[in-house]
Amino acid sequence: MKTKTWDLRHQLGTKQGQKALEEISTIYHAGGLVALPTETVYGLGANAQDNEAVRKIYEAKGRPSDNPLIVHIHDQSQLDAFTAPRSKEVKLLMDTFWPGPISFILPLEPGYLCERVSGGLQSIAVRMPSHPIGRAILEYTDLPIAAPSANISGRPSPTTFAHVFRDLNERVEGIVNGDQSEEGLESTVLDCTQYPFRIARPGAITADMIENILPGSVDLTAHLDTDKPIAPGMKYKHYSPETPVAMLTELNHEISSDQDWQHTLFAVPATLKQYIPKNAIYRELSSDSYDLKAANHNLYQILHELDTDDSIHQGYIYRYKTTDDSIAFLNRLEKATGNQQIGADQL
Ligand code: TXA
Ligand code: MG
C-alpha cells in the first residue's frame, strides 16, 4: 500500500490545508487508516463506527484485539450517541481538563460504535485532544475516531512524524505531520465506571490535579502501580527499545571517564550533566530534576533514538524521585527498562 503523507504544520487555514482535511476525511469515511498528531502521542485513527476499519488498526499495529481502543471526539455532544448521561462529577472533570491529555472510561451504550472498538467490554474510553491539527481533523471529519498510539505493538509510542513513518509506512493509507507531540506520554486513563474513580494509566493529568478540582474523587489506593515493588523481568517490558537501557539512580558524583563510554547514552537533567563521563553521549532530559514536563516530552524521543542510532549500544536514563508529577514518567521508564536500576556508584 502506498502511504500518503501531509505536512500540516504551517497549513491550517490555507487552501492546501483545506484540501488535506478533505482528503483525510474522505479516507476515514471510506474505512481507511490515517495516523494523526495529538498532544500526547500520535494516534492511528479509523472510523469507530466501522468494524472493518477498526480491524485494520489491530492488523496494522499487530495488537491483540482484546485490548480496547480510545475513541477521540471534538465535541462533548458526540458522547450522547454512545454513553449514558454523564454524572456531574464526570462533566466537571471533562469541562476542566478537556481538550487535553486525559481519557475517561464510561459505561457504553451499545449500537452506535462498532463492536470491535470496545474489545467486547461494556465500557468505552473517550478523549478530546487539544492538538490544533488533530482537532481540525476530528472536527472536519465529524466521526468518532478510534485511535491507539500509532506504533507497532511492543515498541515505544511515537511522538514525531518520523517515528510513525518508520513503523507504519506502507501499512496505512495516510500519516499527518503535526510536529513533535507537546506532552510526549500517552493520556491519563481515568476509569469512571465506579466511584471514587480509578487511574487506570497515569499521565500528564495527575491524581493531585483531579483531587484539587474534585476532592475525594480518586481512589488513591488503586493508582499507585509504580510504587509497588516490581521485580525486574520481561513481563514488564512493554514500551521497550531493543538496545539495553536501565534507570540511573544516585547520580551525585562524577562517573569516571576511564572506561570507553563512546557508545553509551546518558539522558539526565542538565543540572547533573557535570557528573556524566566526558566521553559518553549526553542527552538533556530536562532543565533540572523537578522539570517533569520536559522529561515526559523527551522520553520517547530518546527511547526511539536508542534503537535508530547504531552507534548507541547502551542507555542510562535518570530516575527522578517519586512524586505526583513523576508517576507517569516512572511508569513508562519502568516498563522500558524492565525496572532495571543501577546506581551511578556502580558504574
Ligand atoms: O494519549 C493517548 O491516550 C493516545 C492518543 C493517540 O490519544 N492513545 C493511546 O491509545 O494511548 P492506546 O490504545 O495505545 O492505549 C489505550 C489504553 C490501553 O491501555 C487500553 O487497555 C485502555 O486504554 N483502555 C481503553 N478502553 C478501555 C476500557 N473500556 N476499559 C479499560 N481500559 C481501557
Ligand atoms: Mg499504545
List, for residues 286-330, the tens digit of each pLDDT value.
Answer: 999 999 999 999 999 999 999 999 999 999 999 999 999 999 999
Q: Give the pLDDT score at 238.
A: 62
Which of 30-34, 222-226, 308-312, 326-330 shows the lowest per-residue confidence on average (mean pLDDT)? Answer: 222-226
User: The C-alpha cell of 75 is what?
Assistant: 465535541
Q: How confident is the model at residue 239 (pLDDT cuts 50, 70, 90)?
A: low
pLDDT at 170 over 90: yes
Mean pLDDT, rounded, for 33-55: 98
Which of 76-80, 216-220, 228-232, 254-258 shows the lowest per-residue confidence on average (mean pLDDT)? Answer: 228-232
CA distance linking residue 63 with residue 71, whole number of Å: 17
Q: What is the pTM of this model?
A: 0.95
Residues with CB under 5 A from ligand 2 (ion): 149
110 class by beta-carbon count within 10 Å (0-12 exposed, 13-18 middle, 19+ buried) = exposed
CA distance linking residue 285 with residue 135, whole number of Å: 28
Q: How confident is the model at residue 120 (pLDDT cuts 50, 70, 90)?
A: confident
Average pLDDT, the chain: 93
CA nearest to 181, candidates 56, 310, 35, 289 = 35
Cβ proximity of 70 and 147 under 8 Å: yes
Which residues are near ligand 1 (CB < 6 Å)?
Answer: 38, 40-41, 43, 67-70, 103, 105, 118, 121, 123-125, 127, 147-149, 186-187, 189, 200-201
37 C-alpha vs ligand 2 centroid, how far in Å? 14
If you write DSSP's letter for every residue of 71-120 in order, what string do you get? EE-SSGGGGGGTBPPPPHHHHHHHHHH-SSSEEEEEEBPTTSS-GGGGTT
Q: Give the pLDDT score at 236.
A: 39
Identify which of 39, 61, 66, 69 to mutate to test ligand 1's pocket (most ligand atoms within 8 A of the CB).
69
Cα-only R_g, the chain: 20
Query: Which residues have C-beta within 8 Å of that of residue 110, sequence separation ≥ 6?
Result: none
Cβ proximity of 38 and 60 under 8 Å: no
215 C-alpha vs ligand 1 centroid, how far in Å? 25
pLDDT at 233 over 50: no
Q: Give the pLDDT score at 240.
A: 77
